[in-house]
Structure 1
């Protein structure tokens, strides 16, 4: 066995059980909520940009408004 695998801290990590299914689901749900929140926030910020800023990024007012109305769960 290599010295790295004999490290007691590494042995503890390998011995720990995986997340129970409910906890794994909770982690996935929390990640999804974080992404949805970011999408909602950035889409609303896009909607509120001035015309000259929209022009700088190559987006029309109509495109910005359309994007801001998209559902947060849609990528």
Structure 2
């Protein structure tokens, strides 16, 4: 299993657990994102984390090419 498939499965498991406790998906996603950033901060600079988050934000459209890709 790839790390991305593992992450997707863990997310689905956690969303189900959160719903069982009365939390909606958006609330849990935000809390998990905060935890992910906490893990990043253990070994990465704030600037590096910001760069990663900006890259992800700029490439949210799954149908568009990444900004650095050439036609």
Q: TM-score, normalised by structure 2?
A: 0.32
Return the index of the structure with the highest Cα Rg.
1
Q: Which of the pair has the greater relative contact order for Cα pairs under 8 Å at 6+ separation? A: 1
Q: TM-score, normalised by structure 1?
A: 0.30
